[in-house]
Structure 1
Amino acid sequence: MKPRTKVLAFFGIVILGVVILMLLVKTKPKPARSDAGPVQPVVEVTRLTAGTVQVLIDATGTVQPARDVQITSEVGGRVESVAGDFIPGGRVKAGDPLIELEPERFELAVAQARANLTRVRSDLSLEEGRVQVAKREWGLFDQADSDGALAQREPQLAAARANVQSAEAQLRDAELNLERSAITAPFDGVVQSESVEAGQVIGAGQQLGRLLGADVFHVLASVPVGRLQWLQLPGDDGTPGAQAEIRQPKTSGTREGRVIRVLGELDPEGRMARLLIEVPDPLSGATPLLVGAFVDVKLVGRELRDTIAVPRAALVESNAVWRVRDDKTLEQASLTITWRGNDAVYVRNGSGGLHDGDQILTTRIPLAVEGMHVRIAGEDASLQQTPSGEPGGP
């Protein structure tokens, strides 16, 4: 074949291919238009319920002893014995002997004071006899120019009576010292520390140990000043304070207490109000409450009636929610929050248009707008499809 003929045949084949390609494009069937509406996001909702809500206020505190005394001796002497329970951690009852001093010196002082009292009482009896004689003599003789009181021995009688009173006081003091030679527990308590041994010579006023009251401990808790209005505080008329639940971290079980006082000054560090909580029988049970421990406190506040709890997960910008209307469209409701808890906020029934039985969105939708259609997870999609498939209005 000639070269010219080959070139013509080549261009003819190319032209034929282009024509066939154009015919195929023109005759390609068009895809059918879909009548489906916009995609509706599947969301989670929660149904609101109105009722009575108990306000709970979280706080932290420190355990303190309600009674804390230093055991000291009022008299000096040699220690004869120390009670076996007078050791750190030991439990004692009110009146239990803790430390006893050698009593001989104090018993001798009592015997001496009694003998002295007997002597001055005898002197008083003799003086009273002398007074009777002096009075009779005064009546037999005319002694108008003399001092009658002196002549009748009235000053001597007064001195004898004063000596008796002084001797009685000395005897009582000696008996008290004998009693004080045995040091006893002033109340039911637990020994915090001790620093005395048998045979040791101690002086009056020397500190021998420390005793904490075991029947009641206190918890000093700090709460924001603004939250005091939600608590029932103890009143002068005997109104009891709010109940409290105390828990030591990393331990099981809780302790019950009650607010007994509001301190008259703020915490100097956090500028918070301080409450004193009384906890009875703190050392009982498997996990006793320990002095100095940091504890978590849950205070029982006032009741909120006809109130709705809104989960924090449903909040938009801290004070609004998306309400799902009956036609499955969204409506934003702005809330007037009465109380903010850890997991929920609480509003009055009807606040922001929210009512008992309403459903609110708990799923985050970044581009949510008023009137957007949604599908609730778990419901039949065919029952939720709107006729137009477009966002509706309020």
Structure 2
Amino acid sequence: MSQPINENAARPERGRAGPLKTLFVSLMIVLVGAALIWLIFKTEPTATRKDAARETAMLVDVRTISRGDFTPTVEAMGQVMPAREVTLGSRVSGEVVSQAEVFSPGRQVDKDEELLRIDPADYEAALLQRRSELMQAQADLEIEQGQQTVARQEFELLGESIEAVNDALILRKPQLNQAKARVAIAEAAVKQAELNLARTRIRAPFPAQVLSREVTLGSQVSSGQSLGRLVGTDEYWVEATVPLSKLRWLSFDANPDAATAPVRLRHDTVWPSGQNREGRLTQLVGELDDNARMARVLITVEDPLALDQAAGQPPLILGSFVRAEIDGQTLEDVVRIERGLVRRNNTVWVMEDRKLAIRDLDIVFQDQEYAYIRNGLEDGDQLITNELASVVGGARLRLEGDNNE
């Protein structure tokens, strides 16, 4: 009798074969992926540094260099301040009875122009009194001189000799000296009265601009009281600060009449573009600026309000800050190039035989626009002025119009 086939007994064999197959397939996928990744990295192109020149010459712009003598510019910031400033004060007391129309803030006044007048009545009366006292003293002196003459005549008639001391008394010399002293005192009193009367007229001591006025018509003023403030209009100062490292490039002369370095003043935020005022470097102030710790220099500007110059010159305003461009000492036998052409680490790019050369520079001075070079460039050198994407010594170069090799 035949045994029945147990189908369930064969199923475990097929169940074990399934996971093995899946594992094998997964392992193959991993291995194939790893092989592909290895192949990709193995065959990836790599960047290599080449010292050799590029196959294609780079297009450049060049400028031929020449040596010469140049005047560098030292740039500084400065504040406008008055060269002459005075506070008017009264030397006598009284009521202001007259005031000039020009004695107002912002107006210009001429030298010796009358600005105010204090009531002169009391001082005129005092002058009359002092003059009468002088006349009385002079009369007393004349009388005493006559008495001295009479005394001398009487002494000569006596014909007697007396001691020198008694001689002075007999001839009334002490009385004569007293009379002369009273005349001198009276003359001094008259002069003082005349001065007091003249001081009732307040005048401008120099050509000036009125900055402030502290009294007006009818004000009562006392001796020493402030009446107003004036600044001279013939010249202003600009006090500028200069870095100590650039101070040696500036020239100062102890002689005030000597020619000094010219200065150009600019007020970029106020004056139109390209407009400036001319000045001259006057003096080095022997003290550092408290805030920036830089050297202080004075620049003199004549006619700061542009009163005598052609129309269009901007006036200087006291207290404003301006930019000063000071001409420095002349640099002899140097090369001047724009600062933007100085490359990293103080180098420049030069074309030599249609190839790129990198030169180290000995820079003597740099201002806002230029670099002045003592060594590194010579006459006839062709300086590359444009930017290059790749800078390699010995790279081939070409100019506009050359064949692209």
TM-score scaled by structure 2? 0.79
1:325 — aligned with what?
A: 352
Provide the identity percentage: 37
Displacement of 1:184 in angstroms is 0.7
CA distance in 2, matches of 1:245, 1:362: 29
Displacement of 1:50 in angstroms is 3.0
Q: Which of 284, 303, 306 is the equivalent residue of 2:330?
A: 303
Q: What are the Cα deviations for residues 87-114 of structure 1, in whole angstroms up to 9, with x where unaligned?
A: 1011100010011111111111111111
Q: Is the 8 A contact 2:75 2:367 kept in 1?
A: no
Q: Which of 377, 381, 392 is the equivalent residue of 1:358?
A: 381
Amino acid at match of 2:316: L
CA distance in 2, matches of 1:200, 1:344: 60
SS of 2:137 mapped into structure 1: helix
Q: What are the Cα deviations for residues 8-52 of structure 1, in whole angstroms up to 9, with x where unaligned?
A: xxxxxxxxxxxxxxxxxxxxxxxxxxxxx7344444443323333
Q: What are the Cα deviations for residues 246-293 of structure 1, in whole angstroms up to 9, with x where unaligned?
A: 122321321111112111222222222221111111101542111111
Q: Which of 259, 275, 280 is the equivalent residue of 2:281?
A: 259
Q: Unaligned regions of 5+ residues in structure 2, if any?
A: 1-53
SS of 2:196 mapped into structure 1: helix
1:212 — aligned with what?
A: 231
**Greater displacement, 171-180 / 231-240:** 231-240
Residue correspondence of structure 1 range 271-282 to structure 2 within 5 A? 271-282=293-304
SS of 2:176 mapped into structure 1: helix
CA distance in 1, matches of 2:136, 2:256: 58
Matched, 1:123 2:136: no
Q: What are the Cα deviations for residues 107-157 of structure 1, in whole angstroms up to 9, with x where unaligned?
A: 111111111111111111111122222223333444848833223222111
Q: Is the 8 A contact 2:73 2:325 kept in 1?
A: yes
SS of 2:216 mapped into structure 1: coil
Matched, 1:86 2:103: yes
CA distance in 2, matches of 1:235, 1:153: 61
Q: Is the 8 A contact 1:234 1:259 kept in 2?
A: no
CA distance in 2, matches of 1:311, 1:281: 35
**Greater displacement, 106-115 / 124-133:** 124-133
CA distance in 2, matches of 1:120, 1:160: 7
Amino acid at match of 2:193: A
2:64 — aligned with what?
A: 47
Amino acid at match of 2:403: A
Q: What are the Cα deviations for residues 315-367 of structure 1, in whole angstroms up to 9, with x where unaligned?
A: 232411121112x221111111122132331213xx22x22232233344465
Q: How many residues align?
A: 342
CA distance in 2, matches of 1:271, 1:240: 28
Amino acid at match of 1:310: I
Amino acid at match of 1:320: T
Q: Unaligned regions of 5+ residues in structure 1, if any?
A: 1-36, 386-394
Q: What are the Cα deviations for residues 215-254 of structure 1, in whole angstroms up to 9, with x where unaligned?
A: 1111111112232332232234853221111122321321
SS of 1:147 mapped into structure 2: helix
Residue correspondence of structure 1 range 4-19 to structure 2 within 5 A? none
Matched, 1:132 2:154: no
2:7 — aligned with what?
A: none
Amino acid at match of 2:348: V
SS of 2:330 mapped into structure 1: strand
Q: Is the 8 A contact 1:61 1:294 kept in 2?
A: yes
User: For the structure 1 residues 363 and 381, does the alpha-carbon distance in structure 2 shift closer, same or farther, using more than 3 Å as the test?
Assistant: same
Residue correspondence of structure 1 range 1-394 to structure 2 within 5 A? 38-141=55-158, 142=160, 144=162, 147-236=166-255, 238-249=257-268, 250-252=270-272, 253-284=275-306, 285-286=311-312, 287-326=314-353, 328-348=354-374, 351-352=375-376, 354-365=377-388, 367-376=390-399, 378-382=400-404, 385=405
Amino acid at match of 2:245: G
Q: Is the 8 A contact 2:209 2:232 kept in 1?
A: yes
TM-score scaled by structure 1? 0.81
User: For the structure 1 residues 165 and 379, does the alpha-carbon distance in structure 2 shift closer, same or farther, using more than 3 Å as the test?
Assistant: same
CA distance in 2, matches of 1:234, 1:259: 9
User: For the structure 1 residues 283 and 237, does the alpha-carbon distance in structure 2 shift closer, same or farther, using more than 3 Å as the test?
Assistant: closer
CA distance in 2, matches of 1:139, 1:313: 106
CA distance in 2, matches of 1:237, 1:196: 38
**Greater displacement, 136-145 / 257-266:** 136-145
Q: Is the 8 A contact 1:233 1:240 kept in 2?
A: no
**Aligned residues: CA RMSD:** 2.1
